[in-house]
Amino acid sequence: MTELDRSRLYAWFCDHADEPLAEYLMSCLAPAPLADIATKADTGDLAARIDALAAQRETDRIATKADMRD
């Protein structure tokens, strides 16, 4: 549902009911297309990416003076 669709639907609800009911009905709808909403299945992939970035950061870090002496 686009933002324009959401706005038109909200206006229609306000015209045919009242504003508190329109607010409630809109809060029941997904704020974005369902395909764009993150799920629990996405968290595993995200955790793996974070771990990979952390490992890469360790290997790519800048040498300190102490590292150069060793």
70, 38 Cβ separation under 8 angstroms: no
Tell me the residue length of the chain: 70
pLDDT in tens, the chain (70 residues): 788 888 999 999 999 999 999 999 999 987 777 677 777 777 777 888 888 888 877 777 676 777 777 6
Number of H helices, E strands in the chain: 4, 0
12, 6 Cβ separation under 8 angstroms: no
Structure tokens at 8: 């038109």
Give the start-to-end residue ranges of the domains of the chain: 3-69
In degrees and rounded to multiples of 5, residue 38 shows phi and psi of: -70, 145
